[in-house]
């Protein structure tokens, strides 16, 4: 019989797959002898079985009963007994942290009788009725699916009738009346009474937590964080401890280091006379954790000692939830804490210096995505900047956008390309779609451990929380700031997640120090004195020393090539020649296309050749001594001609006026002749080289003459000539022979030895499947994964991303766009086959990738695994690829829990 329930004494932190992160860590703290309320965990396997069949596993009820009986015996009381009730919480807990995305129900076991027993037990009638109203509110929303606004509205009405500012101002009688109101809400909307049987409450809550795994916000969060959909959640049943027994009780969240900066110290939030959900919900502004030392010195000292012990035990930043019940400290949760990108780099190197981890593990604790965040620009707030408020710097970055006050509105405007800032009093899990769509998040309530702060940090989204100076009116879609400043929906604001500043209008930005470091603009002293830059430098040096993959750049101009080199590129993996035919040179291409005789065609090519040669001279100079892979012309010729519709209108208007359309008429004829229904699968790539005599020969001549010129000037050009869109070896052989003839001719004429490799792009499934044949004629392969993805999936990228990709992502057809992260099972398999078969024929075959996947962190790990020699990406992504190549070498493809 499968075991679906584990007591906290039976698990440990390594059982996250089975017990979820929360359950595994509660068990670990129990085993460490820390003060954890007793309880048990229902496994993710039980959830998976429930989600697969729609039924709770038959064995689960008896196993819950057995573990509940053990818990009751341990506590000396029964669930919900009238005179002295045992109460429990039911909490979700997946393998990967999903803050606020699934459900929690507190105070299970309270009913109309046991609430009096709780009054007697606690000696606090207000506390008992407050606990009961919280249960009904949570149960109604979470288990019964009633709109939360109905309960919140009733609470607000009760406060208004009392003239109360806070729910703390409501007395026992007020709360007793509120319980009755809540029960009537349930009866009205479900046509049944709130369940009085404690075991029924427990069973329904367990099922609700299982169901919450597939709640829309949980699905959206998993997609955003790339968490697999089949993991399921565990369910933790925990003895209740109460932070709302009075001012000698409370609840809080603590971090062993600042999750925003990585600085060592005591960080967190605390609320007196409150339950845990009050802190993360942000509905009441919290006290800094340091204030606990004044309020309850003994509990503070115990907490600090436990924090130090947990950080040393987990060897990482820890995120801890705790409750103090009448001076007694209880630990409710520990997990490896989410952190900002800056904190990730700082903490990783700090832990190395403390001897807790080695440099390899430190490299595994950071990611390319985090490095990319550090490269974003920062605000330069000059004297003209209009700062209107300051909140908590919850998640760094510089975000500018139109103020919006509702999640749905943020999604709506962002879909049109508008930049937006989501402004709320506080966020809740239902705001996740708007948080994802927004450039940044601004709240007037909550602290660094509120929902908005935790989720924003996890997503790398700029966030300012607790800007108390702002009066946010969500219904009116506006907020007011000191001095009578009024900001309405659509007004432009800027928020600085690093300082917490809020500005009117758009604030200029400047490059980040990390970009200046990569660009070589910081002196050694400046780099060393900046703690973040020093941490980045240290880990980048280790990544470079550890990695096997070389990192090149995609660059088409001398300026791009020079920047790529500064960023650490080891050459150019893709130099596109089509960009050199645009602008003023377009007329030369038009002449080539309109040529009716060989003489006209040759004249057009002769005019283009010196222009091409000068382009290559500058690029070879910028990349002297490093390889430069030049791709011969790839796109269809019609892309260099005017649009068919515009040209047709222009000619028609001229003819209607009785005018001679002249050159426009010739161009229209050519455009119609070259028009294709699907040009991406038409006359392009190597096919152009075969159909347009002399085109590729002209390009090869320009390339090698530029190389000869550099050599004569004392340079060391390392040219690689790449032929695109090859589908069969015969195509490659014809163009290769032409290129070799040009190489020999230029070498003889210049007196400069020119021996450069000729290879091909693998971007068609047939090329990948016949790679063994193609390798007979190619000295290197470069995988064009953009086109290989298009042709493998049968997708036209320009069309599908706008037309139906959102539905495919929504339905889980794929978790992420295959144009963003390589499809390992399909496209990746073709890459693997081509690499293996190519190297069987030519063991020294050089293999690289030059599609956009070359800069994608997850894809870089796959290319390392397959054995490619290099990846190539945009200059800005070169540091990211370098870091990920190092991570792949030392730690495989595992993603750390701090993501």
Question: Rounded to an integer, what is the distance from CA 675 to the centroid of its chain?
Answer: 40
Under 8 Å between Cβ of 566 and 518: yes
From CA 870, how far away is CA 549, in angstroms rounded? Answer: 5
Under 8 Å between Cβ of 467 and 432: no
From CA 719, how far away is CA 625, in angstroms rounded? Answer: 10
End-to-end CA distance of the chain: 36
Three-state DSSP state, 898: coil
The backbone torsions φ and ψ at residue 493, rounded to the nearest 5 degrees and listed phi first, read -135, 160
From CA 248, how far away is CA 295, in angstroms rounded? Answer: 8
What dihedral angle (degrees, nearest 10) is formed by the CA atoms of 511, 513, 515, 518? 150
Residues 463, 850, 861, 864: which is the catalytic one? 850
Annotate 295-315 with DSSP letters as a single string: H-HHHHHHHHHHHHHHHHHHT
Q: In what order do the strands lie in the sheet with 485-488?
A: 471-473, 478-481, 485-488
Q: Which of 446, 148, 88 is nearest to 279 (CA)?
A: 446
What does the block give as tokens for 395?
């998640």
* Half-sphere exposure (Cβ direction) of 360: Cα atoms closer than 13 Å: 7
Under 8 Å between Cβ of 399 and 497: yes
Residues 318, 451, 638, 861: which is the catalytic one? 451
From CA 738, how far away is CA 695, in angstroms rounded? Answer: 11
Given phi > 0 = left and psi -120 to 50 = alpha, else beta, which region is 246?
Answer: left
From CA 436, how far away is CA 452, in angstroms rounded? Answer: 11
From CA 816, how far away is CA 450, in angstroms rounded? Answer: 28
Helices (H) and strands (E) in the chain, counts: 37, 31
Question: Rounded to an integer, what is the distance from CA 129 to the centroid of its chain?
Answer: 42
* Half-sphere exposure (Cβ direction) of 149: Cα atoms closer than 13 Å: 1
Determine whether 465 is an active site residue. no
Question: Rounded to an integer, what is the distance from CA 731 to the centroid of its chain?
Answer: 41
Q: What is the 3-state secondary structure (H, E, C) of 648-680?
A: HHHHHHHHHCCCCCCHHHHHHHHHHHHCCCCHH
* Half-sphere exposure (Cβ direction) of 364: Cα atoms closer than 13 Å: 16
Mention every residue, 6+ apart, whose C-beta is less than 8 A from residue 713: none
Q: Which residue has the tokens 């001719």?
A: 745
Buried b (16+ CB within 10 A) or exposed e, 106-116: bbbbbbeebbb
Determine whether 451 is an active site residue. yes
From CA 470, how far away is CA 468, in angstroms rounded? Answer: 5
Mention every residue, 6+ apart, whose C-beta is less than 8 A from residue 499: 390, 393
Helix intervals (H) in 191-259: 198-212, 216-225
User: Cβ of 258: how many Cβ atoms within 10 Å?
Assistant: 22
From CA 892, how far away is CA 455, in angstroms rounded? Answer: 27
Q: In what order do the strands lie in the sheet with 104-108?
A: 5-7, 39-42, 233-239, 88-94, 104-108
CA angle 213, 217, 221 (to 5 degrees): 85
Roughly what angle, to the nearest 10 degrees, separates helices 598-622 and 586-594?
150
Roughly what angle, to the nearest 10 degrees, separates helices 829-841 and 857-866?
30
Residues with catalytic function: 451, 850
């Amino acid at each position: 019989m499968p075991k679906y329930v584990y007591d906290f004494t039976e698990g440990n932190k390594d059982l996250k797959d089975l017990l979820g992160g929360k359950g595994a860590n509660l068990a670990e703290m129990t085993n460490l002898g820390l003060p954890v309320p007793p309880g048990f965990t229902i496994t993710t396997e039980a959830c998976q079985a429930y989600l697969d069949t729609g039924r709770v596993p038959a064995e689960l009820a008896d196993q819950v009963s057995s573990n509940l009986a053990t818990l009751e015996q341990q506590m000396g009381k029964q669930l919900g007994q009238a005179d002295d009730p045992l109460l429990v919480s039911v909490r979700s807990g997946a393998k990967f942290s999903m803050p606020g995305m699934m459900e929690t129900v507190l105070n299970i076991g309270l009913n109309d009788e046991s609430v009096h027993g709780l009054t007697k037990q606690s000696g606090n009638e207000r506390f008992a009725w407050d606990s009961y109203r919280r249960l009904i509110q949570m149960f109604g929303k979470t288990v019964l699916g009633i709109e939360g606004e109905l309960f919140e509205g009733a609470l607000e009405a009760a406060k208004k009738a009392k003239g109360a500012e806070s729910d703390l101002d409501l007395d026992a009688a007020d709360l007793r009346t509120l319980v009755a109101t809540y029960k009537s809400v349930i009866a009205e909307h479900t046509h049944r009474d709130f369940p009085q049987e404690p075991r029924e409450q427990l069973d329904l809550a367990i099922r609700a937590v299982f169901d919450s795994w597939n709640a829309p916000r949980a699905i959206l969060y998993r997609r955003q964080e790339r968490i697999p959909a089949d993991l399921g959640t565990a369910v933790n049943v925990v003895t209740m401890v109460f932070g709302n027994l009075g001012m000698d009780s409370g609840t809080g969240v603590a971090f062993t280091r600042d999750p925003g900066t990585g600085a060592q110290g005591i960080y967190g939030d605390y609320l007196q006379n409150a339950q845990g959900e009050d802190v993360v919900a942000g509905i009441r502004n919290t006290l800094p954790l340091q204030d606990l030392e004044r309020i309850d010195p003994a509990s503070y000292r115990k907490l600090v000692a436990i924090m130090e012990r947990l950080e040393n035990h987990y060897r990482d930043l820890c995120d801890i939830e705790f409750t103090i019940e009448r001076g007694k400290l209880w630990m409710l949760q520990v997990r490896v804490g989410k952190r900002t990108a800056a904190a990730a780099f700082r903490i990783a190197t700090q832990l190395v210096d403390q001897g807790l981890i080695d440099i390899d593990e430190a490299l595994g604790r950071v990611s390319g995505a985090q490095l990319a965040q550090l490269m974003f620009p920062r605000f330069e707030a000059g004297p003209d900047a209009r700062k209107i408020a300051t909140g908590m710097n919850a998640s760094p970055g510089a975000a500018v956008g139109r103020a919006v006050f509702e999640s749905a509105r943020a999604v709506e405007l962002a879909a049109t390309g508008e930049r937006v800032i989501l402004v709320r009093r506080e966020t809740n899990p239902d705001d996740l779609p708007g948080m994802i769509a927004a450039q940044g998040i601004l709240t007037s309530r909550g602290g660094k451990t509120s929902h908005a702060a935790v989720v924003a940090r996890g997503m790398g989204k700029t966030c300012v929380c607790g800007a108390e100076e702002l009066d946010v009116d969500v219904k009116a879609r506006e907020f007011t700031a000191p001095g009578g400043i009024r900001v309405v929906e659509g007004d432009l604001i800027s928020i600085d997640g690093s300082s917490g500043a809020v500005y009117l209008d758009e604030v200029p930005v400047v490059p980040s120090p990390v970009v200046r470091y990569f660009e070589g603009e910081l002196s050694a002293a400046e780099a060393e004195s900046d703690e973040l830059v020093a941490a980045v430098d240290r880990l980048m040096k280790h990544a470079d020393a550890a990695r096997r993959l070389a990192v090149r750049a995609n660059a088409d101009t001398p300026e791009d090539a020079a920047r790529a080199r500064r960023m650490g590129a080891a050459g150019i993996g893709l130099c596109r020649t089509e960009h050199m035919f645009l602008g003023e040179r377009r007329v030369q291409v038009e002449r080539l296309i309109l040529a009716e005789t060989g003489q006209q065609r040759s004249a057009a090519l002769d005019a283009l050749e010196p222009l091409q040669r000068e382009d290559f001279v500058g690029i070879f100079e910028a990349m002297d001594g490093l390889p430069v892979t030049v791709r011969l012309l790839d796109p269809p010729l019609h892309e260099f001609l005017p649009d068919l519709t515009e040209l047709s209108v222009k000619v028609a208007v001229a003819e209607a006026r009785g005018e001679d359309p002249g050159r426009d008429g010739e161009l229209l004829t050519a455009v119609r002749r070259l028009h294709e229904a699907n040009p991406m699968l038409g006359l392009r790539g190597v096919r152009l080289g075969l159909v347009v005599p002399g085109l590729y020969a002209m390009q090869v001549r320009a390339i090698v003459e530029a190389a000869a010129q550099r050599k004569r000037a004392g340079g060391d050009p390392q040219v690689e000539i790449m032929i695109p869109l090859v589908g069969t070896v015969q195509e490659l052989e014809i163009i290769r022979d032409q290129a070799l003839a040009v190489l020999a001719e230029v070498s003889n004429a210049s007196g400069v030895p020119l021996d450069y490799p000729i290879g091909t792009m693998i971007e068609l499934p047939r090329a990948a499947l016949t790679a063994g044949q193609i390798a007979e004629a190619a000295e290197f392969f470069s995988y064009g994964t953009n086109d290989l993805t298009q042709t493998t999936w049968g997708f036209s990228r320009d069309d599908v991303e706008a037309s139906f990709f959102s539905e495919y992502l929504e339905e889980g057809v794929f978790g992420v766009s295959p144009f963003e992260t390589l499809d390992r099972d399909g496209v990746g398999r073709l890459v693997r086959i081509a690499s293996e078969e190519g190297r069987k024929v030519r063991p020294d075959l050089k293999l690289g990738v030059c599609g956009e996947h070359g800069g994608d962190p997850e894809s870089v790990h796959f290319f390392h695994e397959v054995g490619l020699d290099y990846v190539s990406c945009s200059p800005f992504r070169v540091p990211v690829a370098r870091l990920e190549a190092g991570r792949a070498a030392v730690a495989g493809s595992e993603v750390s829990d701090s993501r």
